[in-house]
Amino acid sequence: MATTSAPALAVPLAEHRTDTTWCVVAPDLPDAARAHDWAVRDRTGAVVTFQGVVRDHGPGREQVRAIDYEAYEPVALDRLVEVATAAGAAFPGLGPVALWHRTGLVALGEASVNVTVAAGHRGTAFDAARFCIDVLKATVPVWKVEHDGSGAHRADAGAAAPVSVAAAARAWLARHHGSDPGCRECA
């Protein structure tokens, strides 16, 4: 069995860690394998990791070479913790959740966000990972400036409006599970 403790990051901007939640907002993130190892427990049957990476294009932009992520760290960290907590409430049997977001300049091909969730079964793990990234993107105050061959351009992405995690979670569950009257996540 993997260990349930993980060493602290060298100099995180913001970090919250318990036995079941590990949230970080920092310019450098640990390797995703650390989240996997931290998340595995005796009852774990599935671990799903999603990483969002910088791609070479964005809406109306070609040849993106890097993205500079800006965050309001105290609120961003609180929101990550809220997202992890909401996932635990929405998905019975969900195990540990790690939500990490980078700040600062992130180069093409590098990960800017990491979502790792563990559960007893793959369906719960996949659904919870999708829930976490979708609700994170809707609620966590992180903005980006895309750098391409013509300069730096603020992207429209990011949690522009103050949307609560609870409201975003309800909307996600209604969209993805609302048509299934037997859905445990929506009960």
Q: Three-state DSSP class for 32? A: helix
Give the CATH number, domain containing residue 74: 3.90.1170.40
CB-based contacts of 148-156 (< 8 A; 24+ apart in sequence): 148/61, 148/62, 148/63, 148/64, 148/65, 149/63, 149/65, 152/68, 153/61, 155/58, 155/59, 155/61, 155/67, 156/59
How many independent structural domains does the chain possess?
1
Separation between Cα atoms, residue 108 and residue 111, nearest integer Å: 9
Q: Is residue 47 one of the residues assigned to a domain?
A: yes
Highest mean pLDDT among 6-10, 161-165, 177-181: 161-165
The answer to the question of residue 187 being in a domain is no
Q: What is the pTM of this model?
A: 0.85
d(CA 66, CA 23): 23
Query: What's the CA gap between 77 and 25, in Å, rounded?
Result: 6
Residue 126 belongs to some domain of the structure? yes
How many whole angstroms from its chain centre is CA 44? 20
In a domain, 137, yes or no: yes
Whether residue 154 is predicted with pLDDT greater than 90 in this model: the reply is no
- pLDDT above 90 (res 61): no
Within-domain flag for 67: yes
Number of other CB atoms surrounding residue 71 within 10 Å: 24
186 lies in some domain:
no
In a domain, 183, yes or no: no
Q: Residue 136 falls within a domain, yes or no?
A: yes
Percent of the chain with pLDDT over 90: 68
Residue 160 binned pLDDT confidence (cut-offs 50, 70, 90): low
Tally Cβ neighbours within 10 Å of residue 16.
Answer: 16
pLDDT tens digits for range 96-127:
999 999 999 999 999 999 999 999 999 999 99
The answer, yes or no, to whether residue 54 has pLDDT greater than 70, is yes
Note down the domain range covering 31. 14-177
